[in-house]
Amino acid sequence: MIQLPPVASSYYCRCSKCGLDRYHKVVTHTNETTVRLKCEVCGKTGNHNLEVKKTSSSASKTKTHKESKKSLSAKAAAHATEYENFKNGANADNAMAYSMKVTFKESQVVQHPKFGLGLVRSVQGDKIEVFFEDEVRFLVHGRS
């Protein structure tokens, strides 16, 4: 049985509208293997099937699973290393407290009450991409 991600959690996959790998919010579970996701950048909602596709041989299936585990752990390790480098160079005393009413700029250090210290990677209209210790998140800003 497939373990579905919890509702309201972030899930990383390809967005069909953006054409890029993005974080999506899990909106609902539609059945035992499918979740409804909403892209955190463009807002497109759609179903995503988490069912494991059948392969011709079990050896290739095992190999693919092992490769994907290595890939995920490598990404997690790279993210952790990058965050440590950022944290060592960041001046936490000059971090701006996050508020959706404040407008942020690229490369600005942010102190979020829940996610902690983060770095604004990019600004996209009323959303900012922020690099936190656990993951990259998209937050709103500049709203009155």
13 or 61: whose pLDDT is higher?
13
Concatenate the DSSP letters of all residues of 33-51 into one string: SEEEEEETTT--EEEEE-P
pLDDT at 94: 87
The CATH number of the structural domain formed by 1-58 is: 2.30.30.140
Whole-model pTM: value is: 0.51
| CATH code 2.30.30.140 region(s) in the chain | 1-58
* pLDDT one-digit tens code per residue, 58-101: 444 455 555 556 666 788 888 888 888 888 887 778 899 999 99
Strand partners, 109: 119
**Three-class secondary structure of residue 123 per DSSP:** strand
Question: What whole-number distance in Å separates Cα of residue 116 and Cα of residue 103?
Answer: 18
Under a CB-based contact definition with an 8 Å cutoff, are residues 26 and 35 in contact?
Answer: yes
